Amino acid sequence: GLGLLPGGRRSLAACEGVSAASFCRRRLPWLLVKLRMAQNLRHAVTFVEQGHVRVGPEVVTDPALLIPRAVEDFITWVDASRLRQKVLDYNQERDDFDLAA
């Protein structure tokens, strides 16, 4: 369920090929870079530590958090994040209602 094994193989022999890099690719900052929410890993770690990212309804401040594949779609910016506001402004998607907030 974590997404460490490629192709969904479920055998003990497939677990032999799991490396430390497989676990590192499931960490939150790496997924932020993969989802193009951050330019590089250093910025992604900073965003997480400063509380700009949430996974589902929960704000995450631990960059070592392992994210399962089922939860990967729920990685977003925190609603009150200045980064989220800048992204919405850049994409010209910010709502007039949000300007009052």
Residue ranges of domains in the chain, CATH in brackets: 18-98 (3.10.290.10)
* Strands (DSSP E) found in the chain: 53-55, 58-59, 75-77
Q: What is the sign of the dihedral through the CA atoms of 11, 14, 19 and 22?
A: negative
Q: What is the DSSP letter of 78?
A: -
Looking at residue 62, its pLDDT comes to 93
Looking at residue 95, its pLDDT comes to 76
HSE of 36, CA atoms in CB hemisphere, 13 A: 1
72 vs 22 pLDDT, higher one = 72
Per-residue pLDDT tens for 3-62?
Answer: 666 666 667 777 777 777 777 788 899 999 999 999 999 999 999 999 999 999 999 999
